[in-house]
Structure formats: C-alpha cells, structure tokens
Amino acid sequence: MSSPAVSPAVQPLTRLREEEELFRTSVRTFATDVIAPRVRQMDEAAQYDPELLPQLFALGLMGIEIPEAYGGAGGTFFMACLAIEELSRVDGAVGVLVDVQNTLVNNALLRWGTAAQHAAFLPRLARDTVGAYALSEAGSGSDAFALQTRATREGDHYLLSGRKLWTTNAREAGVYIVFATVDPSKGYRGITAFLVERDFPGFALGKVEKKLGIRASSTCELLLDRCPVPRDHVLGEVGQGYRVAIETLNEGRIGIGAQMVGIASGALQAAVAYAKQREQFGQPIARFQAMRFQLAEMATEIEAARLMVYNAARLKDAGEPFVQQAAMTKYFASQVAERVTSKAVEVFGGVGYTVEAPVEKFYRDAKIGTIYEGTSFMQLHTIARYLLEP
C-alpha cells in the first residue's frame, strides 16, 4: 500500500531545507562564539552588552522577514523561529529581543503598514532600530482590551495619554507600536495601533522592572502625556487595533514557543555534559539508569515541543490556519521548559542551585514563558474554544 501524500506545509518538519540548515548553523555559531561569553555579565548587569546589538543587525537577525528591497534578509517566519531557538539555547534574553523585533513589530508592520510606512520604518528596523510592542497596562493583562490609554484627535495628530507596562525592548527601542482607544464607548472597536517614535514630545520611559529571569532584556513602563502622533502613524485603520493585536500575538506565541525550546535545549545540553563528567560511587552519574532515563525523558519532551513549534511556523508560512496550533505550542513548550530546566538543576545537585552552574539561569529564564504573550490559562482557553466551539 502506498503511503498517503504529505502536505508541503508538513513534509519538512523532521529535516531542514539546505538554506535553513545553513542559517541555523550560522546563528548557533554566533550565539556560541559571541553571545555565550557575555551571558553572565549581561544577566548580572541586567542589560545587553552595547556591542551586541550592532552585530545582531549586521547579521540580519533583526529583520529576518523584512524584504531585501528594504534592507532585510527576505527570509521566512520559520527562519525567525530557528533564530530565536538557537539564540535562546545560549541566552533567553537575547532570544526575546530578536523574537519581539521579528514576530511582533516587523510582522505587524508588514501585514498592516501602508506603503509609506513600509518605506519609512522597515529599513530602519532592518538596519539599526529596535522595535517594541506596548499593549499591556496595569488593569489590562489577560483582558488585553481593557485599555485606559487614550488617543484624542486634534487636527492632523492624535494626542496619546496613558501608561503602558511590561514593554519588552523598551529601553533599546526607537519605535513603539502603542495601543490606545480613540473612543471608550466603542469597547474593543475603539482600539487603535499607533507607531510612536522615541523622540516624540510627551513620550518618556518610566520604571525599569527588576525581573526573576531574562534579566538583560529590558521591561519598562511607557509614559505618554499628550504625546502628538501624526495621523499617518496609525497602523492599520482607526478602530482596528484589536485585530492588529490579536493576529500579531497569535504569531508571536509561536516565537515564544521557539524561545522555550531553546532554553530547554540549553539546559539539557549542560545537564548531559555534567552527567558525563560528574562521578559518584566510582563512575560518572550518566551511567546510572535513573539518570539516563531522566535525561532521555527531557530530550523526548524537548523534541515534541520543537516539532510543535516547527509545525505551527510551517502552517503560518503556508497561509494555513494555525491559531489553535500556536496556542498549543506556547502552552506545551513553556510547560516543557519549566520541567526540563528544573530537572537540569537537580542533575547538577547542590552546585546547580548556585550561580556557578549555567542551569540556574535557564531555570529562571523559563518561567516567563507561561506568562507573557498570553498566560497558560489563556492558551488553554483558546485551545478549548477551537475544540468545543467549531
């Protein structure tokens, strides 16, 4: 009996195309040679090494899907996920920097931006400008559209006033996608996305959060005090901000899944190396069946999560429905990252609980995966909705 035909979107899951493998190898080499020596210092200082950002731009990692005509790499969403995974294998903080740039900011502009906005912003985002995505507020977390930030029309500008919280990349960014409501009486239909530039009057950075993990990644509040934003900086149409946010976050969740797979893979790699060289009772602990089975279980869970990421990313690139798969991917990958990094600490024993071991950072970095870009509870809600309300 002949085997059934395999969809082009699914066929390459277990192997990479040649250009994808070369791309992955180049990112892995960069992460190992350039980022790894800086990880501990960046984590302790809670900021990126300033020499790192220009190199990320020079390698094309900040504009992977931006067309070559605008100075980008002209790659695919799948390639962006490969980059996020490989960077996060070394440092989840660098992984999320590249993730937000590509899967949220660049993707939103590519899908919703006008030709003039593409020409004005995409070359900058590919060349030297970090982007940030400002949706959350103090009373607007999982209920993402309970926004209090207001946008008031005044001539050829909108005046934005409000306070945004938990904005990733805020300290480094030059361009921010900021969500505000133009008419609270319209509910989510009044929400609008704006392209706000760092040097606009009335815009300022507020508190920089001190975090458990991904410490080098900046997470800040944004303060807007009658900040004038030109009408041509509206992203999409007025009142369509909820669609911009929902559709972009659906894609971003696949990127977070890739980050979690990378973090878990880095922790497993460290645990395997340690188990081979750590001796107890006259032999390496890797020879004990209990340890071998634990490492095998960790590897199996990571592989399952990786294939979920790859499947969701392939579906997105193929133009197929992927929302349920994206929710499943983020939920499962974040759970796997928590379990694997916790077990990796146990493999190291007492030293694993100290900053001398690499696994404690992977353990701290993993936790955020169950929280940002939609909590695990919200992912389960989405999965159940597609399952029960077709």
Where exactly are the structural domains of the chain?
11-130, 133-239, 243-388
What are 284's strand-pairing partners?
Answer: 279
CATH class (in words) of the domain with range 11-130: mainly alpha
């294939």: which residue's tokens? Answer: 307
What pLDDT is recorded for position 272?
98
Classify the C-alpha dihedral 197-241-167-111 as positive or negative: negative
Q: Catalytic pick from 18, 320, 373, 389?
A: 373
What pLDDT is recorded for position 139?
86
What pLDDT is recorded for position 298?
98
pTM: 0.94
What pLDDT is recorded for position 2?
42
The CATH classification number of 133-239 equals: 2.40.110.10
CB 85 within 8 A of CB 309: yes
Instruction: Please give the Cα distance from 74 to 390 (Å, whole number).
Output: 35
Whether 297 is a known active-site residue: answer: no
Q: What count of Cα atoms within 13 Å lies in the side-chain half-sphere of residue 77?
A: 31
What pLDDT is recorded for position 7?
44
Q: CATH number for the 243-388 domain, one of 3.30.1360.200, 1.20.140.10, 1.20.120.1760, 3.40.640.10?
A: 1.20.140.10
Other beta carbons within 10 Å of 62: 26
pLDDT < 70: residue spans in the chain: 1-14, 144, 390
Torsion of CA 169, 164, 136, 172, to 10 degrees: 0
Classify the C-alpha dihedral 108-113-119-124 as positive or negative: negative
Query: Residue 323, Cα to own-chain centre: how many angstroms?
Result: 16
Give the closest residue to 44 by CA, choosing from 342, 353, 355, 359: 355
What pLDDT is recorded for position 367?
98
What pLDDT is recorded for position 4?
43
Q: Which residues contact 312 (CB under 8 A, 6 or more apart)?
A: 254, 257, 322, 325, 326, 328, 329
What are 154's strand-pairing partners?
Answer: 157
What are 203's strand-pairing partners?
Answer: 224
What pLDDT is recorded for position 76?
97
Other beta carbons within 10 Å of 347: 24
Instruction: Please give the Cα distance from 215 to 94 (Å, whole number).
Output: 10
